[in-house]
Structure 1
């Protein structure tokens, strides 16, 4: 074992002498001091270089922080090995990094991924929690606590018994205290590189969260959302549904040999174990893992793409066939109750609080002429002909992630509206959104057409993936599902327009009116093609 030279023979020097003995790492231990006279002191400080061959290891045991670091640097320059001295009773994580000439005293704790610079002192009973950084020469006093993610500056002394809390760092892209609080609530605040707005949803406020990755780059790792509490009035129920369904899906996917980390969303609890975080404004935030090497499309580009989306939603329905739908909360009551949507529309029309009814008489008449249609599926549900299932209730193409390499549907996203419902509504919403080449808010109706080729592609894929769990009655009413969900969506856009655009995000004053017109144009063309739609369903049933 090597010999150790301790520079400084005061009270602190003798503490280090005893600690060095306790480590049993050194053969002989001697001291240098300019004033002390005792057997262990074998010379003055100036003699340190002359003793390097006999004592290849040396430490600087000075209570003054700057002097301690000064001498550590001089010893290193003179080619001494400057070890760390850690008392056997201390607890030091194997992932901690401790600089030359630092001391960890009796019963001190240095936790996971903590970094100590050179010449630091963690005194008896002190705790330096995980991911903290203690810079050169700092002294963490007796029984003090440095909390996780703190940074202690060079030569600073943390007084005995003091508790140091981490100061928040500036994160690029964070413009509000609420977003900052949410990042810290989920445990990302101290590592997050930056955030940026993400996605194109109408309802929630969504951010991409970038974290440091290997090679000094940043990677998109999480998606953070502030949930629209005006729409989802009980976020606890929304998140209970989401956690229940996604955790169930992970088990089913694993049983079927799939990859649950890519084939379903994985939501993250807060550091306190909650399903979501509520900010100081009472708004809920939630977070899930981003799925890399995936793409999301805002509109259908090819029949094959639409076919793959159908297989995704059909598979989603089938995977959840065993999930008890009656245990889910109805987070938006009567969400796809077309009769109730009609009643809401008629109430908004009667009140006309924004004096807009005069601008949309044609659209109003379109709805009123189809009052009876709004009861078709609801009557079948009431009679028991159509079963209640776990449904997504917002099955647009842009709520699917596709595998970037294979082009196949990978994962269903945007699970806010997971509720008990009719499979026909999920099927119909996909047709409404995808069986047309036009955007949902295309102002030129001459460009808006119901595409039977896309309808057939989707119906084929959906029945291939989910066909054996659908009842004969469900298959029979699939065309009604397509027509009525499109009519219902148009009614919702028109109702929101009459009420002043409270629900959907809009970019201009007639945005919702434009949206409703595209839906009603599709309904008209579905009515004209209804017999052919029925024949296509029968072909693949």
Structure 2
């Protein structure tokens, strides 16, 4: 793909292919991401997965609106992080659409940036949660209706379970027998669905990041302070309980989300407390009482839902998430369901952090 980029993409951004360096960047599940270094500039180049993002122009337009708003807040001294901004093409466009050869966009590269995949300390968890809270707080003045839904019903657990049921019915790759116990476990969680139905309609819709993994908050490698919130692809209207829940899901296990050491996949109480402290320090005065109460629900829903999505993709033949070996999505699903079970087992202790 790097040869294709040199021959067909770099010229759109005014880069001399002969002198540019192009290398893969990051370990995202969805898009293909590269670091481009020219003679006098460097930027991040992405090929957007249009099987996932059916309207990629909406994605880049949303990101541009958010970037402009955050830059305005930063100029007023009201946003303390660096801002991820689009790099325009040579013809001042936000993207390059080559049809079957891909939809490409570029964003600024932030020097001195560093990311981690597993939270190692309470300090890191609190810092990252505070950064995501700061990001969301800064966007409360931007009308959420200005953003398009790049993936409709992205965080909609009933819909995700329905898609799982369809995958089970089809069993198109003959994989049901190896994961039937996990399917039955998901289908037994009717009480969570009922609780969700009673709460969602009572919450305000805000601009949400919708992918608050620890590696979407960059650290400044010079002093390991928070540097920037990145990956704005899924920023849409939604409920902040899901942003909180995805932080919990991706912060509080000592294992990566595809670890098969399930005996080590568990909730770290101190990390959960640090997430609550950091997030609420920025949003505590913004959240309604109902929103604050919904955060625990969001934590449970997100753990179950991402497991459902991994399991569905496994049954469908691994068409959504990139995999590195056979059974990878099933391993991810088992990891997330184990995390969900650990969360439920510690409910009484963990909820106290949200009440304080």
Q: TM-score, normalised by structure 2?
A: 0.96
| 2:26 is the counterpart of 1:209 | no
* CA displacement at 1:197 relative to structure 2: 0.7
Aligned to 1:416: 233
Q: 1:182, 1:375 → 2: CA distance? A: 49
Between structures 1 and 2, the one with greater strand share: 1
2:203 to 377, 386, 390: 386
* CA displacement at 1:280 relative to structure 2: 5.2
SS of match in other structure, 1:322: coil
| 2:310 is the counterpart of 1:493 | yes
Tell me the C-alpha RMSD between the 2 structures.
1.6
Aligned to 2:293: 476
Correspondence 1:108-507 to 2 at 5 A: 174-176=2-4, 178=5, 180-189=7-16, 192-212=19-39, 221-256=42-77, 263-279=82-98, 281-382=100-201, 385-507=202-324
Aligned to 1:167: none
Deviates most, 475-484 or 272-281: 272-281
* CA displacement at 1:521 relative to structure 2: 0.7
Q: Deviations over 1:244-273 (max 9, x none)?
A: 1111111011112657xx611011121222
Q: 2:284, 2:192 → 1: CA distance? A: 26
* CA distance 1:225–1:502, shift in 2 (3 Å): same
| Count of residues in correspondence between the two structures | 356
SS of match in other structure, 1:469: coil
Q: 1:447, 1:365 → 2: CA distance? A: 23
Q: 1:295, 1:411 → 2: CA distance? A: 10
Correspondence 1:506-525 to 2 at 5 A: 506-525=323-342
Q: Deviations over 1:504-526 (max 9, x none)?
A: 00011110000011111111111
Q: 1:402, 1:350 → 2: CA distance? A: 44
Q: 1:289, 1:313 → 2: CA distance? A: 19
Q: 2:167, 2:227 → 1: CA distance? A: 40
Q: 1:516, 1:506 → 2: CA distance? A: 13
SS of match in other structure, 1:175: helix
Q: 1:525, 1:455 → 2: CA distance? A: 12
Query: Do the aligned residues in 2 keep the contact of 1:191 with 1:212 (CA within 8 Å)?
Result: no
Stretches of structure 2 lacking an aligned partner (at least 5 in a row): none
Q: Deviations over 1:171-198 (max 9, x none)?
A: xx9322x553221111123575211111
* CA displacement at 1:366 relative to structure 2: 1.0
Aligned to 1:530: 347
Stretches of structure 1 lacking an aligned partner (at least 5 in a row): 1-172, 214-219
More RCO (CA 8 Å, sep 6+): 2
* CA displacement at 1:299 relative to structure 2: 1.2
Between structures 1 and 2, the one with greater helix share: 2
* CA distance 1:410–1:377, shift in 2 (3 Å): farther
Correspondence 1:66-81 to 2 at 5 A: none
Aligned to 1:129: none
Q: 1:192, 1:235 → 2: CA distance? A: 30
Q: 2:145, 2:105 → 1: CA distance? A: 24
* CA displacement at 1:450 relative to structure 2: 1.1
SS of match in other structure, 1:521: helix
SS of match in other structure, 2:285: helix
SS of match in other structure, 1:203: coil
Q: 1:393, 1:374 → 2: CA distance? A: 20
* CA displacement at 1:380 relative to structure 2: 1.8
Q: 2:205, 2:78 → 1: CA distance? A: 28
Query: Do the aligned residues in 2 keep the contact of 1:338 with 1:488 (CA within 8 Å)?
Result: yes
Query: Do the aligned residues in 1 keep the contact of 2:52 with 2:320 (CA within 8 Å)?
Result: yes
Q: 2:90, 2:191 → 1: CA distance? A: 51
